Amino acid sequence: MEIKQVITNPINYLLAVLVMIFSNSCTNNVQNKEVLPSKTDSVRTIEGKPSSSFKDTIKIGFPAAVFFNTDKLQSEKYIETNGKQVFESIQHDCFYQMKYSRGILKKYYPEIKVTELINARYLRFNTANSGYIIIDLNKYDLCGMFISDGQKAPIVVDMTNVETQLGFYFSKK
């Protein structure tokens, strides 16, 4: 009678069925294992920004916002290294982030002089004490934006957070 009670008890019956299923699946898994290609096999490493083909230095006064982008030769080298789709995706993001940032500058900071830069490598920001700070654009992303008030060191702006960064940087405190 004890065996009959063990089999007829629904919980024990369910456990027995599960044990048989799992033991069967483990033995079949080894035989039917299929080798799938790794997803990382097709992922390429993105190479950095190529050096500028220009050696020019642009002098920037203050207060200033400077938008920079790659020159034609840099763009071609980047495409050769990383592919056209990667480059176009980055340029798409840059275009709309710069457009949005220009709108914020025009609306809330009309006194800031905006400079568009493509064919230069260095930025020379003038400071209030007749000094200057030089920035090598080869060390930064393909595109971006610097701001300077002449008092503090110029900073590169995260254009997705441009309103907040402009507010903190140009605050009167």
129 vs 101, higher pLDDT: 101
73 vs 2, higher pLDDT: 73
In this predicted structure, the answer to whether residue 41 has a pLDDT above a threshold of 50 is no
Per-domain residue ranges of the chain: 2-28, 57-169
Mean pLDDT within 87-94: 96
**pLDDT for residue 39:** 52
82 vs 49, higher pLDDT: 82
* CB contact at 8 A, 162 and 107: no
Task: Supply the mean pLDDT for the chain.
Answer: 83
Residues 10-37 as b/e (b if ≥16 CB within 10 A, e otherwise) read eeeeeeeeeeeeeeeeeeeeeeeeeeee
114 vs 1, higher pLDDT: 114
18 vs 33, higher pLDDT: 18
CA 70, CA 121: separation in Å to the nearest integer? Answer: 9
**pLDDT for residue 27:** 54
Token pair for 114: 């905006």
In this predicted structure, the answer to whether residue 20 has a pLDDT above a threshold of 60 is yes
Residue 76, H or E segment: helix 72-82
pLDDT > 70: what percent of the chain? 77
User: ω into residue 63 within 30 of 0, thus cis?
Assistant: yes
Could you tell me the pTM of the whole model? 0.70
